[in-house]
Amino acid sequence: MSFRGRFTNKIDSKGRVSVPAKFRAVTIAQGLNGVILFPPLNPGSFVEGCGPAFSDVIDQMLDRLDPFAPERQALSAVLIGESAELSFDSDGRVILPETLRNLAGITDEATFVGMGQRFQIWEPKAYDAYYAKALEDAQKYRDMLRAPAAQGGGGQ
Amino acid sequence: MSFRGRFTNKIDSKGRVSVPAKFRAVTIAQGLNGVILFPPLNPGSFVEGCGPAFSDVIDQMLDRLDPFAPERQALSAVLIGESAELSFDSDGRVILPETLRNLAGITDEATFVGMGQRFQIWEPKAYDAYYAKALEDAQKYRDMLRAPAAQGGGGQ
DNA sequence: CGGGACATCATGGGATATCATGGGATATCA
DNA sequence: TGATATCCCATGATATCCCATGATGTCCCG
């Protein structure tokens, strides 16, 4: 079960957004009645989100670095220090922390984009702009997709 | 078991289309009571479809890229962000998301074309036009079809 | 070999459930 | 005590379920 699809929801006067029902199903299946958000490592104005499964992966990746290495400290400061675990209210909504909202330039609408083990939250127009470029890039990157040898999946 | 043949079905006032029974049998055999749709990586006005088997291949290909690489983000945005997992209703129908319908110019009819491990969905007239050209091209490309090597698994 | 009974399938429509959204009321915390 | 967050309910839109229909294909039995 993974995050898939794109959904744009409104932010009401109290700052609440509905997390798409299909995304809620994923994190709940992972044992969390909520989501985990953190800032992006890629350049760009958006928020990263996930459930406990990918959050654990991040922890493991960080644990592979030396405990006192400066790289580890920097990555931890971003990925853990600025992260937030938000609980769903009884209708499946969350309130985005101000820091993360500002980071992504989100005001009254938020676009949720599924990316497999995790998802992203964008200001809708910013995502449109990003996607136009991503589509071109994806066609260029097509050859980076190599089918596993085991299965003879026909690439395009 | 693979997707084979061409079928054109109607889209009703609620936006529902019957997925051809023979296609349903394939994805159900793969363990999914539905289909997975996504945009084409190559330029073109149609929708790609498959079952879990091919979808897993895509996921594995993406997973081989570093988690925060920009290439992975772009490819995921297209192949997962714009994709959808649709469940069959009790009569084997699905509702095509507006984004994918627009992409293919589909309004009131949809042509399903089997392509082995996956299939495509076209606006019927667009497919007719494409097929006329594909037929010519296929004859030109005839010599690209090589017999499999005796032992080693040759190229695709 | 022929024909009738039956199953499968695409399609349509009414009833029901789910979802996103808004707002009032209550709880929590500094 | 004021501000923020949480709970609960209402609502409209959308999707889902369930049943009906007709057309096509399949099977079986005479």
Query: Which nucleotide is the nearest neighbour of B93, by CA and C1'?
Result: C10
Q: Which residues of B92-113 are buried (b: 16+ CB within 10 A; e: fewer)?
A: bbbbbbeebbebbebeeebbbb
Q: How far apart are CA B39 and CA A156, in angstroms?
A: 12
Residues of B within 8 A of A3 (CB-CB) are 80
* pTM as predicted: 0.92
Residue A119 burial by CB count (10 A; 0-12/13-18/19+): exposed, middle or buried? Answer: buried
Tens digits of residue pLDDT in B69-126: 999 999 999 999 999 999 999 999 999 999 999 999 999 999 999 999 999 999 999 9
User: In chain A, whose CA is at the least distance from the CA of B64?
Assistant: A145
Give residue B42's pLDDT: 84
Q: Can you give the pLDDT at residue A126? A: 97
Answer yes or no: is A89 CB < 7 A from strand D: yes
DSSP state of B79: I
The pLDDT of residue A142 = 84
Segment A119-145 mean pLDDT: 94
Token pair listed for B62: 């993406």
For each of the domains in chain A, give its residue range(s) and CATH number, in order of start.
6-125 (3.40.1550.20)
pLDDT greater at residue B90 or residue A150: B90
pLDDT band for position B43 (50/70/90)? confident
Quick: pLDDT tens for B27-41: 999 999 999 999 999
Task: Tell me which chain A residue has its CA closest to the CA of residue B44.
Answer: A139
Decide if B146 touches A, using CB distance below 8 A: no
Instruction: Indicate the average pLDDT of chain A.
Output: 92
Would the pLDDT of A149 be above 80? no
How many angstroms is C1' of D3 away from CA of A57? 37
Q: Which nucleotides of D are covered by protein (CB under 7 A)?
A: 5-10, 15-20
Mutation target to probe the B interface, by most B beta carbons within 10 A, among A112, A115, A146 is A115
